Structure 1
Amino acid sequence: MTEHLRSLINNKLMSDVTFIVEGAEIFAHKCIIIRSGYFRTLLSGEFARRKTVQVEISDVSREVFLILLEFVYTDCVGVSGSGVKELFVAAHCCGIESLKNNARKNCWTQCALTTLEKF
């Protein structure tokens, strides 16, 4: 099931939401992303009556936004390196606590590894 949901991320087939991130289109599905309170609120109101929606997203890289969507779709995430901090901020802004906690743990692990490498 996870792999099937993952295959829908940024898949135009049956998508009804298009995010514009760094000038590029990212396709999503309302029925899945409303699992997140942030996206549920974002897509209610004037967007709720539209068959297809286009939303511009700023302050987050395309790469990190795709990781955030992957988590919303699958409850799984794999991130390392410099993207962890940006993912933490994006998860905080979107109110996705479980992703925020995951990113926080990855940050601490990376800090610990960096410290150990110095010795």
Structure 2
Amino acid sequence: MLLITCPWCGPRDETEYHYGGQAHVPYPETPADLDDRQWAEYVFYRDNPKGHFAERWMHGLGCRRWFNVLRDTVSYDVLAVYRLDEPRPELPAPHAPHQTAETAGGNR
């Protein structure tokens, strides 16, 4: 289970929250001009990175406020939590895993 720190209520178990998808997805400037393909891309297409990922969460069993979580999709570690009116924190890029001769395709 994840332990997520609500910016207003403090640390709580992930069961108190609702996942809201990828953070920082801007609403189209002129939605009336979008065709069906463009609407589908806006609604359904999201990034799926291996590493740091910004997500929206809502504290459903607490203050019911939305906020952002920066999480590592490989380790599930919560790296940062920030309110919607705050900028995304700058974090160092995730490091590459250590390679051994077997994982690098070396001789056996």
The normalised TM-score by structure 2 is: 0.30
The structure whose Rg is larger is 2
Q: By percentage of residues, which structure has more helix?
A: 1
The normalised TM-score by structure 1 is: 0.28
Q: By percentage of residues, which structure has more strand?
A: 2
